[in-house]
């Protein structure tokens, strides 16, 4: 629920009634009552189109297999290399200065609370945790949200039947400030355990079986007719693409995000060189990606398909439905719904799918969460490095556009092609500020050729 200025009520009695009826955290309404504040929020840098400054120390010889320039006497403006690594997202939103409640991430039930056979039989892991669900919640924490992981059966009828508190205990907190602002089902649990969608609460779904009109699954959200869903992954034969082809680039979630010449966005990264190096013969892969797809032709009338699987364009991998949209079961959506592109694979994998997203994939995930919760999204704006100049004595000065709500990190590598995760941190925890930021770096003792990149946090 989004309140206009005219919606603000005064008086303790009216305020209490509004909190009770709206399911909106009390702090939201309190700030709405006391006045509206223009707020600059959501400044995010994600991996896409990073300008990397290429530098070299004076008297450096040519390196094997790659030409390297000596440190020039003039500013190094022409030595930028586009790497397809990241972009700065600057979002200006005018909202009440308040909090957004709690995001609930529903995770696999045979873990964490009590002994179960999966603890014994799944020696291969991950056993008592779903790393991808934890990573998902942690990323949302990094962007300022509170999150809570709850076992899927506890927010459905099975929990109460087994002697646990009813689902309403978790879905309707006693403290209205902790009301659920977003409900996420990643697909880490069994599709039969996916809980019923809570009315009026925005929802993101990664369980492909419950995307459609599936009368046999209590968690179905009816964004599609029928049950023609699947989850192509890194083991699929023939090989499946890691790219999503965008159909609606002007949708607020995707607007401004760079695409290639084929209108594609790379959602899944490549494996790290040592990601499988120490996995035992019977172990599960550490790298796994898994799409969550449904037939495009089966999309309900009120569903907008934003992206399809590259190379299989009859498969929807990313879609949304707004409040009031006509769903496949003949009802109208009571909240915003998002069909996510990733599925955490339940009992069959290491449940690390979220870790396989590219930085731009994570960017889209966060923007989708914001859209689902009703936040206004501004188009993505690319990050800009202003200048790289020699500073004498084997030093260089890097300058870039900064924002106050981010910290920055400077990374370095001798291999431009190595994954960003393997680059070494050169300078960490640079405080952000609105305007031009700069750092002077001593690279006199460094290798003959060096590549550097600037990354924001989170």
pLDDT > 70? residue 113: no
Paired sense of beta strands 38-46 and 146-151, if any: unpaired
Axis-axis angle for helices 12-22, 26-34 (nearest 10): 140
Segment 91-118 mean pLDDT: 59
**pLDDT at res. 125:** 67
Bridge partners (DSSP) listed for residue 456: 408
Quick one: pLDDT at residue 87? 35
pLDDT greater than 60 at residue 260: yes
Contact 224, 303 (CB under 8 A): yes
Q: What is the mean pLDDT of the chain?
A: 78
Residue 339 has pLDDT above 60, yes or no: yes
Tell me the backbone φ, ψ of residue 242, rounded to 5 degrees. -95, 10
Segment 367-378, tens digit of pLDDT: 999 999 999 999
pLDDT at 119: 55
Tokens of 267: 């959602």
For residue 53, give the H/E element and its range: strand 51-56
Which residue reads 């957004």 in tokens? Answer: 100
Identify the pLDDT of residue 116: 54
Spatial CB neighbours of 108, under 8 Å, sequence gap ≥ 6: 130, 133, 151, 152, 188, 189, 190, 193, 344, 346, 347, 351
Look at residue 295 in the predicted model and tell me its pLDDT. Answer: 97
In the structure, what pLDDT confidence band is assigned to residue 117 with cuts at 50, 70 and 90?
low
Q: Specify the pLDDT at position 293.
A: 98
Give the pLDDT confidence score for residue 102 in this predicted structure: 92
Identify the structural domains of the chain with CATH numbers, from first to last: 5-36 (no CATH), 45-89+380-457 (2.60.40), 96-372 (3.40.50.880)
Question: Sorting pLDDT into bands at 50, 70 and 90, what band is 355?
Answer: very high
Confidence of residue 80 (pLDDT cuts 50, 70, 90): very low
**Tens-digit pLDDT profile for residues 143-196:** 999 999 999 989 999 888 888 899 999 999 999 999 999 999 999 988 989 999
- Most confident segment among 80-84, 107-111, 354-358, 412-416: 354-358
């Amino acid at each position: 629920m989004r309140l206009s200025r005219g919606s603000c009520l005064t008086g303790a009695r009216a305020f209490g009634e509004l909190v009770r009826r709206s399911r909106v955290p009390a702090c939201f309404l309190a700030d709405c009552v006391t006045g509206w504040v223009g707020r600059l929020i959501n400044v995010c840098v994600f991996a896409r189109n990073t300008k990397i400054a290429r530098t070299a120390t004076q008297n450096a010889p040519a390196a094997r297999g790659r030409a390297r320039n000596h440190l020039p006497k003039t500013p190094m403006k022409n030595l930028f290399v586009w790497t397809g690594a990241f972009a700065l997202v600057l979002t200006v939103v005018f909202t009440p200065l308040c909090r957004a409640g709690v995001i609930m991430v529903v995770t696999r039930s045979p873990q964490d609370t009590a002994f179960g056979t999966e603890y014994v039989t799944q020696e291969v892991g991950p056993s008592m945790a779903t790393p991808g669900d934890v990573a998902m919640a942690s990323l949302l924490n990094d962007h300022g949200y509170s999150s809570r992981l709850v076992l899927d059966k506890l927010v459905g009828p099975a929990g109460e039947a087994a002697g646990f508190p009813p689902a309403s205990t978790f879905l309707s907190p006693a403290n209205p400030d902790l009301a659920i602002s977003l409900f996420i089902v990643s697909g880490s649990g069994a599709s039969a355990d996916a809980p019923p969608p809570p009315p009026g609460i925005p929802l993101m779904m990664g369980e492909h079986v419950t995307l459609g009109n599936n009368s046999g699954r209590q968690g179905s959200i009816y964004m599609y007719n029928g049950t023609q869903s699947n989850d192509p992954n890194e083991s699929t034969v023939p090989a499946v693409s890691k790219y999503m082809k965008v159909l609606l680039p002007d949708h607020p979630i995707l607007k401004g995000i760079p695409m290639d010449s084929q209108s594609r966005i790379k959602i899944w990264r490549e494996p790290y060189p040592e990601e499988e190096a120490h996995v035992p013969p019977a172990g599960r892969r550490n790298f796994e990606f898994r799409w969550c797809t449904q037939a495009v032709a089966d999309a309900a009338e009120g569903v907008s398909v934003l992206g399809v699987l590259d190379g299989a364009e009859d498969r929807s991998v990313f879609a949304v439905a707004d409040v009031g949209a006509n769903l496949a079961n003949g009802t109208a959506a009571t909240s915003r719904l998002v069909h996510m592109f990733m599925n955490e694979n339940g009992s069959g994998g290491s449940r690390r799918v979220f870790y396989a997203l590219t930085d731009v994939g994570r960017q889209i995930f966060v923007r989708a969460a914001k859209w689902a919760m009703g936040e206004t999204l501004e188009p993505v704006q690319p990050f800009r490095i202003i200048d790289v100049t020699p500073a004498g004595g084997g030093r260089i000065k890097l300058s870039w556009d900064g924002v106050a709500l981010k910290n920055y990190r400077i990374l370095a590598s001798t291999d431009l092609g190595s994954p960003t995760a393997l680059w070494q941190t050169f300078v960490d925890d640079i405080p952000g500020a609105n305007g031009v930021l700069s750092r002077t770096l001593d690279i006199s003792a460094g290798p003959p050729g060096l590549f550097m990149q600037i990354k924001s946090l989170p």
